[in-house]
A = this chain, B = another copy of it.
Amino acid sequence: MMIVMKPDATEDEIGAIIERVEAAGARAHVSKGDEVTLIGALGDREHVARLELEGAPGVAQVVPILKPYKLASHQLRDASVLEIAGRKIGGENFALIAGPCTVESRDLLLSTAQVVKDSGAAMLRGGAYKPRTSPYAFQGLGQEGLRLLAEAKEMTGMPIVTELMDVRDMEAVLEVADVIQVGARNMQNYTLLSEVGRSGCAVLLKRGLSATLEELLMAAEYILKEGNERVMLCERGIRTFETAYRFTLDLMAIPVLKELSHLPVVVDPSHAAGRRDLVLPLSLAAAAAGADGIIVEVHPDPEQAICDGPQALRSADFADFAAQVERATALAGKAFTAAA
């Protein structure tokens, strides 16, 4: 941490800051310039983190130097390759994750599961619990949805990605989920993050609508801190001033997250776009930019979907979609992951 003193800071004020830095177990390095004095607070991250010097007498600005996350940081280790029920993600392994937005019925789920499996998808997604902006909207099939996902898993052998919203549903979700999805609206639900961490189950952590990359990594840190290392980060569009699309997919996040962190990065183009026709170009772009996977929605008859039909790829087009995405992964030195 670097503390910039005000031009008119007194010697006493400078001395008081040095004292507080040292009392916190860090070391203070002082540089006196013509206009300002700088004080570097160097030492262990946790000691330094305890210092809250903004607004202290004489202090103009406090500049963090070290990243506030540790376990998510790239400095500590190489890029992680996770293994989910035999499918790898990370490194040279690209995972295509696909399925219906929400589990609506047995027929729909099983037929979609077969389609995505046949086209090379590594995992099956499907929501049993759905976070909805409106309390009047369909909230998911709940337990019945989980039961159907278990059946699809048994039929296809594909690992299941499904969302958990309420810690009280943890046990039921763990019975079927290979990957627990934490939704964008819950990215800073710290209670949920800690419990998911303790579960030991792999996690797909979606970036909040207006979360910085640093906040996303801090949310991952809540999970990692419980000893659960199997975390995938997911970019799904951020909120900006632009109204021409639902969210603005931030593809710069891919290379930057991979520089900052060892965790795999997945992109969800379906929710960002909200429109089927944008899903292919955005998926190609994500793969070309080096994503470790994408998660997309598929439906045999999107016009009849209970939710988010406009953004679902048609089952009939999915094999072609997957083939194009696979070509794009080669640009970044990756290939579709296969069951071990």
Q: Residue A288 contacts which of B29, B46, B288 (CB distance < 8 angstroms)?
A: B288
Contact with B along A186-216 (1 / 0, CB 8 A): 1011110010000000000000011011110
> Is A302 at the interface (CB under 8 A from chain B)?
yes
| Bound CA–CA A250/B248 (angstroms) | 7
| Chain B positions within 8 Å of A253 at CB level | 244
| Bound CA–CA A122/B247 (angstroms) | 33
| Chain B positions within 8 Å of A46 at CB level | 136
A36 near B66 with CB under 8 A, answer yes
Closest to A132 in B: B190
| Bound CA–CA A63/B215 (angstroms) | 20
> Is A135 at the interface (CB under 8 A from chain B)?
yes
Q: Residue A243 contacts which of B44, B212, B222, B255 (CB distance < 8 angstroms)?
A: B212
Q: Chain A contact residues (Cβ within 8 angstroms of B): what range? A: 35 or more
> Is A7 at the interface (CB under 8 A from chain B)?
yes
Q: How far is the CB of A309 from chain B (nearest CB, A)?
A: 6
A55 near B240 with CB under 8 A, answer no
B309 near A52 with CB under 8 A, answer yes
Contact with B along A10-24 (1 / 0, CB 8 A): 000000000000000
Q: Residue A55 contacts which of B44, B276, B327 (CB distance < 8 angstroms)?
A: B276
Q: How far is the CB of A339 from chain B (nearest CB, A)?
A: 26
| Chain B positions within 8 Å of A210 at CB level | 209-210, 239, 241
B133 near A218 with CB under 8 A, answer yes
A188 near B190 with CB under 8 A, answer no
Number of this chain's copies in the assembly equals 4
| Bound CA–CA A256/B212 (angstroms) | 24
Q: Residue A310 contacts which of B54, B238, B251, B308 (CB distance < 8 angstroms)?
A: B54
Known: A33-B40, A38-B2. A54 touches B274 (CB 8 A): yes
> Is A287 at the interface (CB under 8 A from chain B)?
yes
Known: A244-B212, A290-B281. A42 touches B31 (CB 8 A): yes
Most chain B CB inside 10 Å of its own CB: which residue of A131, A185, A243: A185
A331 near B215 with CB under 8 A, answer no
Known: A331-B328, A332-B284. A38 touches B55 (CB 8 A): no
Residues of chain A whose beta carbon lies under 8 Å from any beta carbon of chain B:
2, 4, 7, 27, 29, 31-36, 38, 40, 42-44, 46, 49, 52, 54-57, 61, 63, 65-66, 68-69, 75, 131-137, 165-168, 185-186, 188-191, 194, 209-210, 212-215, 218, 221-222, 225, 238-245, 248-256, 259-260, 272-278, 281-282, 284-290, 302-303, 305, 307-311, 324, 327-328, 331-332
For the complex with contacts A7-B75, A55-B310, 15 further pairs of A-B residues with Cβ separation under 8 Å are: A2-B2, A2-B38, A29-B38, A52-B305, A55-B275, A55-B302, A56-B310, A186-B189, A212-B244, A240-B248, A240-B250, A245-B256, A252-B273, A259-B277, A284-B288
